[in-house]
Chains A and B, each alone.
Chain A
């Protein structure tokens, strides 16, 4: 399968440990993905999937191991330098829309991290819902609009590595379908994406590879081509 051949690893994580205060949360995560690939981090609540993304962003109290982006080491970089130097766009689970700013201001707020960002007008074509509410304050948006804005916001900056945390959580099926199309489109444009998902049905057709995380470790890796043959294993891992 060509997608699993890593000609140029964009993100490589080795033996990543992370702590919140005294609490040791990640116990040696290993994963990698090539440019233009999409991987998912699957697992139960509290397994450490979101913490893996937060560790990449430097948003945990302590982290050790290795996080390489395009060959450069990021483990010791301060948080504010990770986004611009890694050309990362992070969409957190809580969306983080700024309520005192309107849609356009929310889109304009993040600083650019590189060339090739999607223009505001193109983003409004990609998310017509947002075009209709461009002057609306962040607090006045529906959950779906907030999620679209949270994704649109990081696409304007020129980020090439997208970290998307539970983007379908709590959204209506029609909006989930929309987001699926957007993610597929972004992948076709060459974006490299790490997707944390509970909704396996949403993630399965998009991903090149699935990493199963449990108790802060990657316990299994399933290639896209092997998903059907591995359904029993997946059900075992993801069932409550």
Chain B
């Protein structure tokens, strides 16, 4: 095997050397530092936000940020474009709202019920959709999500076009009154953080590495012996469940579950948030959700023109920085992941 060593000098001399002499350990350390800075900034924002921003706005932002992060797990890390994630977000909102209002479930149990419903629905939709790829996958998820939308419109318990109103916030663990905006805010912040940490852990686990391998080269992952369909289905169910967690929490925040949550436009909006922030990045969906929600609030005075502004922003993003805000930032900082 002595000849192998002969090639070492050859390969190290040029082609494989890193740009500007940087090795991967250096890049990784730099990525860790910047990720640490983002974590500190995000946790600082979470702790201080209700003191300088309207709490309901931040809670809405956190629900959408979690929704987008869950969606990113599927599109960014598995390579599957679902066009029906509103079904999980909205469906879970209705179920959580119903069990909280009619069955008198406590808040945590209500949110968990919504999440479990979204996971089960995700399993059903995913089982049918992952048999196809690309645009066909997206179309199947859209079609199935429309069925859920019409269920939400027609079922007696959903309130039809009026939506499910008057969902009680109740008491957390029987102690904290969630009608207090600050208590409600920190509860939502905790839910967001748990969901975000779960996603972060999934991305950095061996399971997450297999998902990324499937995204990069599905036939190769298959030929290495991975049951690709099972991995894709599990990723779909996890993404749906986390989207359901976001939807259930939003229902509790606004005490209201409406058709808007299950409408196909919501599926489009979460795609927009993820792409704006940076698909396949860790913090991108959070930043994307912030941009979209902040624009919707800031421009609420101009009515439906806000959609035009958001559409224009999206076009500018695709043309000028197609990696998304965080993706471009990572490129500027010359790090692999942010």
User: Which positions in A face B, CB cutoff 8 Å?
Assistant: 57, 59, 79-80, 82-84, 90, 92, 96, 98-102, 105, 108-111, 113, 125-129, 132-133, 135-137, 140-145, 153-154, 157, 172, 174-175, 177-178, 181-182, 185
Contacts and interface: CB of A to CB of B under 8 A. Distances in A.
Contact of B209 (A105, A133, A144, A153): A105
29 contacts: A80-B222, A80-B226, A80-B227, A83-B224, A92-B219, A92-B223, A96-B217, A98-B213, A101-B209, A101-B213, A108-B206, A109-B210, A110-B224, A110-B225, A113-B225, A129-B7, A129-B8, A136-B23, A140-B18, A141-B16, A145-B11, A153-B224, A157-B225, A172-B10, A174-B7, A174-B10, A175-B7, A178-B4, A182-B4
Contacts of A185: 1
Interface residues of B, number: 35
Contacts of A175: 7, 10
Given A102-B24, A136-B16, 20 more contacts: A59-B222, A79-B223, A80-B226, A80-B227, A90-B224, A96-B220, A101-B209, A101-B212, A109-B210, A113-B225, A129-B8, A132-B8, A140-B18, A142-B15, A172-B10, A174-B3, A174-B6, A174-B10, A177-B3, A181-B3
A182 B4 CA distance: 9
Interface string B1-44: 10111111011100110100001110010000000000000000
A157 B222 CA distance: 14
A124 to B, nearest CB: 10
B133 interface: no
B108 to A, nearest CB: 36
A142 B222 contact: no
Task: Report, nearest first, the 5 A-B pairs whose CB atoms are least far apart.
Answer: A83-B225, A96-B220, A110-B224, A80-B227, A142-B16
B216 interface: yes
Interface in B223-239: 223-229
Most A CB within 10 A of own CB, among B15, B28, B228? B15
B7 A90 contact: no
Contacts of B28: 135
Contact of B224 (A101, A111, A127, A181): A111
B24 A137 contact: yes
Contact of A83 (B7, B15, B213, B223): B223
A145 B9 CA distance: 12
A128 B24 contact: no
Contacts of A92: 219-220, 223
Contacts of B10: 144, 172, 174-175
Contacts of A82: 225
A144 B336 CA distance: 23
Contacts of B336: 100, 137
Contacts of A145: 11, 16
B223 A59 contact: yes
A209 to B, nearest CB: 25
A126 B1 contact: yes
B46 to A, nearest CB: 29
Contacts of B209: 101, 105, 109
Contacts of B227: 80
Nearest to B219: A59
B8 A84 contact: no
Nearest to B216: A98
Given A125-B1, A135-B25, A145-B16, A84 B11 contact: no
Contact of B3 (A99, A113, A178): A178
B27 to A, nearest CB: 8
Contacts of A154: 224
B223 A90 contact: yes
B277 to A, nearest CB: 19
